[in-house]
Amino acid sequence: MFSGEARDCLWSEWGAGAGPNPECEAWVLSGCDPDLAGREPAVTASIVDVADLADDNATRVFEWRARDGYDYGGVVVQLWTAQCTEIPGSKWRSRNPAFYSNIVQQHERNFLLPPETGWMTVTTNDTVNLEWTLT
């Protein structure tokens, strides 16, 4: 783990001297094996089947918070097809730099899940202390 901005699922410089996020990389290389998905066992990524919610008609609300209150790194949400291809333009980062190097965290995001969505990943620097919902 690191302290700093959350990285997306396949960030090439994800950890100190490491490649992509280890949980996401294993999941993508497996072809989206459902046995590698989940929210609780992963240290740095939540990988969730959201195909039943993908209808492009209902606005979904993603909300998150850090249990301990430390949310400096934020989260990255990505949508994926059932074939493990990231849906272009679906990536959302909660951490946005503002004026004078201040950090602005967004803890809520409204969006549509396109019909081709099969999976959603939520990556951060510490999912052990992360709580999130998608309604």
Domain enclosing residue 115, as ranges: 22-134
Q: Looking at residue 99, what is its pLDDT?
A: 46
* Structural domain contains residue 51: yes
Q: Looking at residue 64, what is its pLDDT?
A: 87
Sign of the alpha-carbon dihedral angle for 104, 105, 110, 113: positive
Instruction: Indicate the number of domains in the chain.
Output: 1
Per-residue model confidence as pLDDT tens for the chain (135 residues): 445 667 778 775 545 555 567 788 888 888 888 888 876 645 678 889 999 999 878 899 999 887 776 666 788 899 999 998 999 988 888 876 554 455 667 888 898 899 999 999 988 766 556 788 898
How many whole angstroms separate alpha carbon 66 and alpha carbon 113? Answer: 24
How many whole angstroms separate alpha carbon 68 and alpha carbon 81? Answer: 33
Residue corresponding to tokens 């992509």: 20
Q: Looking at residue 117, what is its pLDDT?
A: 94
* Structural domain contains residue 4: no
Q: Which two tokens stand for residue 70?
A: 């430390």
Task: Give me the CATH number covering residue 76.
Answer: 2.60.290
* Structural domain contains residue 8: no
How many whole angstroms separate alpha carbon 110 and alpha carbon 47? Answer: 19
